[in-house]
């Protein structure tokens, strides 16, 4: 499983990455966590406002920090 966090490095982007890491721990899975911070790459992924989060290439959140429980739910759906 691959989880990607999109954002330039703002506080909300860092919080999203922390939530993703915690969600992976809670879900008890192995996942590759990737952080994308270049504006061109963020736009290419279809993220119009940051932070963004994608699981296996599917954008699940943009413009807000998703809660850990919600990310766990998305991981289980993937």
Residue-wise pLDDT tens digits, 40-75:
999 999 999 999 999 999 999 999 999 999 999 999
Each residue of 51-65: b (16+ CB within 10 Å) or e?
A: bbbbbeeeebbbeeb
Catalytic site residue from 10, 11, 33, 39: 10
Q: Is 13 a catalytic residue?
A: yes
Catalytic site residue from 5, 13, 31, 42: 13
User: What letter does residue 65 receive in the DSSP assignment?
Assistant: -
Q: What are phi and psi of 54, to 5 degrees?
A: -130, 145
Q: Is 20 a catalytic residue?
A: no
User: What letter does residue 66 receive in the DSSP assignment?
Assistant: -
Name the pTM for this structure: 0.94
Q: How many other C-beta atoms lie within 10 A of the C-beta of residue 22? A: 14
Domains in the chain, ordered, with CATH?
2-77 (3.40.30.10)
Is the distance from CB of 19 to CB of 35 less than 8 angstroms? no
pLDDT at 77: 94
Q: How many other C-beta atoms lie within 10 A of the C-beta of residue 34? A: 13
């Amino acid at each position: 499983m691959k989880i990607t966090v999109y954002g330039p490095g703002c506080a909300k982007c860092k919080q999203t990455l922390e939530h993703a890491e915690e969600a992976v721990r809670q879900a008890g899975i192995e996942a590759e966590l990737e952080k994308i911070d270049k504006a061109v790459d963020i736009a290419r992924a279809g993220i119009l406002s940051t932070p963004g989060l994608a699981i296996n290439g599917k954008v699940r959140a943009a413009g807000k920090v998703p809660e850990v429980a919600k990310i766990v739910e998305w991981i289980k759906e993937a």
